[in-house]
Amino acid sequence: MINENFVILGVVIAILGSLKYVVETIQGRVKPNRVTFFLGKVIKSV
């Protein structure tokens, strides 16, 4: 079995990466790809 500390570390890294992306999107430094954004919404709605 994998050590639970690695799972926690993975979750923290994922949250920090997502948070950085959201902040940069709001600041206008990054523009989300329309196709990727649309597919993500479609997949989450199913």
Which residues form the domain of 16? Answer: 4-45
CB 20 within 8 A of CB 12: no
Question: In the prediction, which pLDDT does 40 show?
Answer: 82
| Contact in structure between 30 and 21 (CB atoms under 8 Å) | yes
Specify the number of domains making up the chain. 1
The separation between CA 21 and the C-alpha centre of its own chain, rounded to angstroms, equals 7
pLDDT class of 2 with cuts at 50, 70, 90: confident
Average pLDDT over residues 9-27: 92
